[in-house]
Amino acid sequence: MAFLQADPIRAPARAQDLTLMQRVRGYRAGDLERLYPALDAEEDMLPNYGFVPRRVQALLHPREVGETRIEREHPELLDEVRALLRESGELHPREVAARLGRGRVANAWGGQSAASTRALDTLHHRGEARVTRRVSGVRLYGPAPHLAALRERPLPLGERLRGAVYLLAALYAPLPEASLGYLVSLSGFGLPHLRPELRAAFRRAVREELHGEKVDGLRYVWPADWDVSALPAPRGVRLVGPFDPLVWDRRRFAHLHGWTYRLEAYTPAEKRQFGYYALPVFQAERAVGWANLRVEGGELRADVTWILGVRGTAALRRGLEAELGRYRRFLGLEG
């Protein structure tokens, strides 16, 4: 995949686990966190926060980042955290907070974090630290010598830009050209000092390296070496996570399936149409509804809604029950 988006919400599992569950035979919730130290995997940002192999991380670094709020408010803190990283080799945010103190500041999720934790995040984003592993979902940090080597000898700029654009096209395509442009603009967070160059690389790729066709007046693009006519038609029933590449682009979803899907986890409860964390339900290649899953008393509960015009046939019900059985195994709710 080359990039796997992460999200901290568990409903009924984290986004990264939901995505891998549909792609890795026998995958169980938490396998990525458990196996991460032995994998060719790093936590980084492109186009959002998630997991990448080191060959992809090499496209993102060295990353030039301007002065952050944490540096303005605690100018000496980053040097103190750097010293702790060199001394300890691996740091838990609680350990840093206990040793260095400091107040609390707003974090990216709208909550509050210790200033020392934000300092670790800043060093990570700059490539001066890496996530070594997670313990109960909490990131532990250590030095990043492979990124220090990239600061000395980075990949050629053209290779970095082309690689980032092609990666996004290969991961999310076929998708509307405008959606790929939006993904590239989001990737400016991973390459903040190269936003104009990244947009130029996108325009060049559309002209020279991507295949494009109009479908109902909407122009779609995908890598030129793909034979989309040879892709196998999907079968069965699947419940897909909201950050999965299959449903990530809402423009494409509405165009292909005829209805608008939204993630409403951050929407006030009284304004939700789909529920807290709705998973689109696919039957073969058609999105036919959505499901909200939760675990209560060791049992998986599913609230399923079909879109207008879809009948809950016996075949659809059998497919749904088989998929819920896969989710029970994925969540460890049955032997």
The pair of three-digit structure tokens given for residue 91, joined into one six-digit string: 């740091």
Q: What is the largest CA-CA distance in the chain?
A: 65
CB of 245 within 8 A of CB of 48?
no
Q: How far apart are CA 138 and CA 131, in angstroms?
A: 10
For residue 272, what are the contacts with CB-CB under 8 A and spacing of at least 6?
264
pTM value is 0.92
Q: String of b and e for 158-183 (b: at least 16 CB within 10 Å)?
A: eebbbbbbbbbbbbbbbbbbebbeeb
Q: How far apart are CA 229 and CA 235, in angstroms?
A: 16
* pLDDT, one tens digit for every residue, the chain (335 residues): 999 999 999 999 999 999 999 999 999 999 999 999 999 999 999 889 999 999 999 999 999 888 888 888 888 899 999 999 999 889 999 999 888 865 555 544 344 357 888 899 999 999 999 999 999 889 999 999 999 999 999 999 999 999 999 999 999 999 999 999 999 998 777 888 899 999 999 999 999 999 999 999 999 999 999 998 888 888 999 999 999 999 999 999 999 999 999 999 999 999 999 999 999 999 999 999 999 999 999 999 999 999 999 988 999 999 999 999 999 999 999 75
Q: How far apart are CA 63 and CA 193, in angstroms?
A: 7
For residue 106, what are the contacts with CB-CB under 8 A and spacing of at least 6?
112, 113
Alpha-carbon distances of 155 from 80, 150, 198, rounded to whole Å: 30, 8, 15
Q: How far apart are CA 214 and CA 244, in angstroms?
A: 24
